[in-house]
């Protein structure tokens, strides 16, 4: 290689001076960084480099591979028998669960008005081994384009989502883990159907996810299961991602601080699964940037959401409103914009104060952030907005009570019953 | 002491340094492991600035980028810069005793780490844990035996 200079004896030999060569190399590396970062034009170069680096990576990893092979081959008969029994039990369990799953899938298809049950969303599976362990929450697996692996492909293990491929070489691929702080996965909270985004924390010691975009009164609690929502174009819907481990609600903060523990572990398992899914399956990832579905069966699209009017009249709000009725009406009759003494006898002693004082002037000053989480969450979507709207609705109306009947917004539709009598 | 070196030896030791750098290790060992590749490149740019020098630094850095860099070219730039500095100052560094050399290496490794972190931040990638600075210290500690070893190999 001529780049290594003249192989000289002296420090001051032939060839261009060091500073000049450095300038060339510096410009070259800056150009490379720019192209790699901004344009992704270096996919081909990356491909070649990854191919060249793969033998070294294999060689580097060979000691641990050899060690695991050795420990595998010198295992005792008892431990093998125990493992065999455990696997057999697990297989029985899985078979039972699959029987139930078939029945459920058929039932689901019937409920959705389908004649026959849908095929599974996963079209093809391919097992891959982890070659090098996680460095900065990235791993290398031993499958590449020769196996049909493509960029941004979902990688799972037997417990849940692991990550997605970022750079694919001919025989290897780099996988970014969902716990990487550069990774975000759209998830659904299974219990409530609430959609949000789980971002990796990048914590090397304990793999965890953060749900940074949940409002303070969102219905989420520790133990909730997170499944992939199918948005974002990479992960099919319905695969388990993790479990909510802790929820911190701070009355000052508008957003809840939620942490989740991912199911998939790359530390223990050496095998991961690459998934190819059916493009036309309703659970396949939505790749369209627009809001409407571009893939999937038209007949299977969700019904358009009903107008929110019936939803905004929760039965739970009625008795509370009747309880606070006299005071409110008094205040309304007096025409006071703010009701400092108008605390209802209900459970929320502080929330109405804040909503009245802040929301009395104008509504959109983040009413959801100041409302404390209601103590009795009965249904998912209903409760979160319901107390906020029930308390905020009279407050918005008080400055201009004349307008209220003319513009029946969904929030105000809750209030006419107590007003009319 | 003759400073004549064969290019094959430089390449071979650099490859060994790369393997030692990317070898999977348990977490604690991984934390204190110095970047052997950077040490090797530093040694050769002091010992043979013409034969190794900036070009070796650049290619070694590019290899490191392929293995563990989020941005291609990041380590290549910094490692070629570091090898330029040490190659320009190679006569002064060479004349120092090993203890003072390792102090210089400490400063150079800290500079290297700092520029790599700066590029990380500049390109919007998450920063690794601050405990990585330990590697500068272990790198300086291991400089004396490493330099002795590489010099042994050269004299043989």
Rounded Cα–Cα distance for residues B90 and A121 (Å): 62
Please tell me if residue B126 touches chain A, with a CB cutoff of 8 Å.
Answer: yes
Which residues of chain B neighbour A169 with C-beta distances below 8 Å? none
A200-221 in b/e burial notation, b at 16+ Cβ within 10 A? bbbebeebbbbbeebbbbbbbe
- What long-range pairs does B93-99 form, CB within 8 A, spacing at least 24? B93/B46, B94/B46, B94/B47, B98/B143, B98/B144, B98/B147, B98/B148, B99/B144
N-term to C-term CA, chain B:
12
How many other C-beta atoms are found inside a 10 Å radius of the C-beta of residue A45? 14
Q: How many domains does chain B have?
A: 1
Cβ pair A59:B19 closer than 8 A: yes
Whether B116 is in a domain gets the answer: yes
How many other C-beta atoms are found inside a 10 Å radius of the C-beta of residue A192? 18
Q: What domains can be seen in chain A, in order of their start residue?
A: 18-73 (no CATH), 119-289 (2.40.10.340)
Q: Which of A143, A239, A225 is nearest to A190 (CA)?
A: A225
Structure-token pair, residue B132: 């990585």
Q: In chain B, which residue's Cα lies nearest the Cα of A26?
A: B77
- The whole-angstrom distance between B49's CA and the closest CA on chain A is 6
Q: Which of A109, A352, A138, A107 is nearest to B128 (CA)?
A: A138
Count of helix runs (H) and strand runs (E) in chain B: 8, 0
pLDDT score for A352: 38
DSSP string, A73-131: HT--HHHHHHHHHHHHHHHHHHHHHHHHHHHHHHHHHHHTT-SSPPPPSEEEEEEEEEE
Please tell me if residue B90 touches chain A, with a CB cutoff of 8 Å.
Answer: yes
- Chain A contacts in chain B segment 51-80 (CB below 8 A): 51-59, 61-63, 66-68, 70-74, 76-77, 80
**CATH at B136:** 1.10.1760
Give the residue carrying structure tokens 């627009």. A290
- The whole-angstrom distance between B113's CA and the closest CA on chain A is 16
Structure-token pair, residue A374: 């209601």
Please tell me if residue A182 touches chain B, with a CB cutoff of 8 Å.
Answer: yes
Find the angle CA(B61)-CA(B63)-CA(B68) to the nearest 5 degrees.
90
Evaluate if residue B127 carries a pLDDT over 60: yes
Confidence of residue B110 (pLDDT cuts 50, 70, 90): very high
Which residues of chain A neighbour B129 with C-beta distances below 8 Å? 204
pLDDT along chain A (421 residues), means of 10: 36 62 84 76 76 81 79 81 91 85 76 59 80 75 88 86 87 88 90 90 81 88 89 84 90 87 74 81 61 47 54 44 43 42 39 38 39 40 39 39 39 41 37
Whether B2 is in a domain gets the answer: no
pLDDT score for A358: 38
Is this model's pTM higher than 0.95 or not? no
Q: Over the stretch B15-47, which tens digit does the pLDDT of each residue have?
A: 888 888 887 777 778 788 888 999 999 998 888
DSSP string, B76-117: HHHHHHHHHHHHHTHHHHHHS-HHHHHHHHHHHHHHHHHHHH
Whether B1 is in a domain gets the answer: no
Evaluate if residue B114 carries a pLDDT over 50: yes
Q: What are phi and psi of A47, to 5 degrees?
A: -60, -50
N-term to C-term CA, chain A:
93
- The whole-angstrom distance between A419's CA and the closest CA on chain B is 55
Rounded Cα–Cα distance for residues A228 and A160 (Å): 10
Please tell me if residue B95 touches chain A, with a CB cutoff of 8 Å.
Answer: no
Cβ pair B73:A26 closer than 8 A: no
- The whole-angstrom distance between B14's CA and the closest CA on chain A is 12
Whether B104 is in a domain gets the answer: yes
Cβ pair B63:A11 closer than 8 A: no
pLDDT score for A323: 42
Whether B121 is in a domain gets the answer: yes
Evaluate if residue B152 carries a pLDDT over 70: yes
pLDDT score for A187: 92
Whether B42 is in a domain gets the answer: yes
Query: Domain range holding B105?
Result: 7-155
């Amino acid at each position: 290689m001529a780049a290594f200079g003249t192989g000289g004896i002296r420090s001051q030999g032939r060839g261009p001076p060091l500073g000049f060569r450095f300038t060339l190399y510096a410009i070259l590396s800056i150009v490379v960084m720019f192209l790699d970062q901004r344009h992704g034009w270096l996919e081909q170069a990356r491909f070649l480099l990854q191919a060249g680096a793969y033998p070294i990576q294999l060689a580097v990893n060979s000691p641990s591979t050899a060690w695991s092979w050795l420990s595998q081959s010198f295992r005792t008969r008892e431990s093998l028998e125990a493992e065999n029994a455990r696997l057999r039990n697990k297989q029985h369990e899985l078979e039972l669960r699959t029987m139930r799953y078939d029945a459920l899938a058929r039932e689901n298809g019937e409920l959705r008005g389908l004649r026959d049950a849908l095929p599974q969303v996963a079209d093809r599976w391919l097992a891959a081994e982890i070659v090098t362990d996680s460095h900065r929450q990235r791993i290398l697996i031993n499958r590449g384009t020769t196996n049909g692996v493509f960029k941004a492909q979902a990688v799972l293990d037997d417990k849940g989502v692991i990550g997605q491929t970022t750079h694919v070489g001919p025989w290897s691929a780099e996988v970014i883990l969902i716990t990487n702080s550069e990774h975000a996965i759209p998830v659904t909270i299974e219990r409530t159907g609430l959609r949000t985004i789980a971002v990796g924390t990048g914590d090397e010691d304990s793999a965890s996810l953060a749900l940074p975009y949940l409002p303070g009164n969102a219905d989420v609690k520790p133990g909730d299961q997170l499944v992939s929502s199918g948005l974002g174009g990479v992960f099919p819907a319905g695969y388990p991602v993790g479990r909510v481990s802790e929820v911190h609600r701070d009355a000052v903060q508008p957003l809840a601080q939620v942490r989740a523990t991912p199911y998939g572990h790359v530390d223990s398992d050496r095998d991961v699964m690459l998934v190819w899914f059916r493009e036309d399956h309703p659970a396949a990832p939505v790749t369209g940037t627009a809001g409407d579905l571009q893939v999937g069966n038209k007949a299977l699209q969700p019904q358009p959401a009903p107008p929110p009017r019936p939803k905004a009249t929760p039965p739970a709000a009625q008795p509370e409103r009747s309880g606070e009725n006299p005071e409110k009406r008094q205040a309304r009759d007096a025409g006071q914009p703010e009701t400092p003494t108008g605390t209802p006898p209900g459970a929320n002693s502080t929330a109405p104060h804040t909503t009245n004082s802040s929301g009395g002037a104008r509504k959109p000053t983040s009413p959801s952030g100041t409302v404390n989480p209601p103590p009795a969450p009965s249904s998912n979507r209903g409760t979160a907005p319901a107390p906020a709207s029930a308390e905020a609705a009279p407050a918005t109306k008080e400055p201009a009570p004349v307008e209220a009947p003319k513009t029946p917004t969904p929030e105000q539709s809750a209030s006419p019953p107590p007003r009319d009598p | 002491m003759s400073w004549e070196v064969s290019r094959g030896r430089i390449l071979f030791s650099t490859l060994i340094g790369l393997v030692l750098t990317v070898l999977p290790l348990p977490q604690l060992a991984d934390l204190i492991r110095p970047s052997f590749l950077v040490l090797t490149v530093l040694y050769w740019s002091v010992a043979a600035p013409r034969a190794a020098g900036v070009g070796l630094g650049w290619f070694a850095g590019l290899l490191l980028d392929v293995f563990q860099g989020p941005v291609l070219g990041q380590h290549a730039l910094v490692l070629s810069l570091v090898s330029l500095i040490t190659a320009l100052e190679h006569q002064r560094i060479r004349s120092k005793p090993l203890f003072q050399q390792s102090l210089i290496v400490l400063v150079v490794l800290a500079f290297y780490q700092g520029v790599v972190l700066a590029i990380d931040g500049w390109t919007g990638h998450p920063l690794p844990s601050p405990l990585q600075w330990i590697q500068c210290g272990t790198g300086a500690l291991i400089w004396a035996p490493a330099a002795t070893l590489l010099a042994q190999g050269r004299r043989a």
